[in-house]
């Protein structure tokens, strides 16, 4: 696990006394506001989600152009299962369409797909599309695109705690050796660097159970733009705001 959080206090080219941080390696986005975007236009919510998929396409393209190595998108939270069945059907339908229709294009652009969250909650067809997307793009060396599906940070931490307990009981991990690094290796993000920047669109200022462990030292940016309107200029502005932040990872200013 390459952590830019508490176990890796300061990046190589940034001093503990501040200064402009290096560009983010990993940006994670809470894509919020699809419903309001649709309602404000007198459209059904599904139209907002469709426009949200367009914004996903743009964000992936822009992330590559901006030189990011990792982009994580919160597409479906573990709490989203509480939405009306009709909306769940719309969202899973869009997801299925995305997985079937976009993978070839993403693959041709060198994008490698990863999924975090409880995929067993989805029907077997979607589960096999997810597995196929991972397999097809496994050797790609371009942008790493992580899609969080039926994801909840607390559930992820509990699952890692359970694995850790099992490994301790089975003698695979001496309890004295337990630390942040080997605990993080039991999270679903074991191979993924911690996010440098978490963006939430639509003006809401919450993390909503997203990357709770991994985001410990992430810069947080809340923008008013509704997700379907989030385009290259908003993404570029977000990175410019990140560049103005003073990341100290808990170190004292000089």
Which residues sit at the interface with ligand FPP, rule CB under 6 A?
A: 31-36, 49, 52-53, 56, 73, 75, 80, 94-95, 98, 147, 202, 227
- How would DSSP label each residue in 172-214? SS-GGG--HHHHHTTSTTTTSPPPSEEEE-TT----TTSSTTT
Q: Which residue is nearest to ligand FPP (CB)?
A: 35
The CB-of-214 to ligand FPP minimum distance in angstroms stands at 19
The CB-of-37 to ligand FPP minimum distance in angstroms stands at 7
The CB-of-87 to ligand FPP minimum distance in angstroms stands at 8
Q: Which is nearer to ligand FPP, 88 or 178 (CB)?
A: 88
**CB burial string 114-146: b at 16+ within 10 A, e below:** bbbbbeeebeeebeebbeebeeebeebeebbbb
167 assigned to active site: no
Q: Alpha carbon of 58 to those of 51, 66, 230: distances in Å? A: 11, 12, 9
Catalytic residue among 34, 80, 90, 144: 80
Catalytic residue among 12, 13, 32, 194: 32
HSE (side-chain half, CA atoms, 13 Å) at 76: 24
Q: Which is nearer to ligand FPP, 73 or 160 (CB)?
A: 73
Q: Which is nearer to ligand FPP, 86 or 181 (CB)?
A: 86
Widest CA span in the chain:
60
Q: Which is nearer to ligand FPP, 46 or 173 (CB)?
A: 46
80 assigned to active site: yes
The backbone region for 199, taken as left when phi is positive above 0, alpha when psi lies in -120 to 50, beta otherwise, is beta
Residues annotated as catalytic (active site), given as ranges: 32, 80
């Amino acid at each position: 696990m390459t952590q830019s959080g508490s176990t890796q206090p300061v990046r190589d080219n940034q001093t503990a006394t501040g200064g402009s941080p290096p560009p983010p390696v990993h940006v994670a986005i809470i894509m919020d506001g699809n419903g309001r975007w649709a309602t404000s236009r007198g459209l059904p919510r599904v139209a907002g989600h469709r426009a949200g998929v367009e914004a996903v396409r743009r964000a992936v393209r822009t992330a590559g152009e901006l030189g990011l190595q990792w982009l994580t998108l919160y597409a479906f939270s573990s709490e989203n299962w509480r939405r009306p069945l009709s909306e769940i059907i719309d969202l899973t339908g869009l997801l299925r369409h995305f997985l079937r229709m976009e993978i070839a294009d993403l693959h041709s652009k060198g994008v490698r797909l990863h999924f975090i969250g409880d995929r067993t909650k989805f029907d077997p067809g979607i589960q096999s599309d997810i597995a196929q997307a991972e397999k097809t793009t496994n050797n790609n060396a371009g942008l790493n695109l992580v899609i969080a599906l039926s994801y909840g940070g607390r559930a992820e931490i509990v699952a890692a705690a359970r694995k850790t307990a099992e490994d301790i009981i089975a003698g695979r991990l001496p309890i004295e050796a337990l630390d942040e690094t080997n605990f993080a290796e039991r999270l679903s993000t074991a191979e993924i660097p911690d996010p440098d920047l978490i963006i939430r669109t639509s003006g809401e200022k919450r993390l909503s159970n997203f990357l709770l462990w991994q985001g410990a030292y992430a810069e947080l940016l809340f923008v008013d733009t509704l997700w379907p309107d989030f385009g290259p200029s908003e993404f570029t502005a977000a990175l410019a705001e990140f560049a103005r932040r003073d990341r100290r990872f808990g170190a004292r200013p000089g």
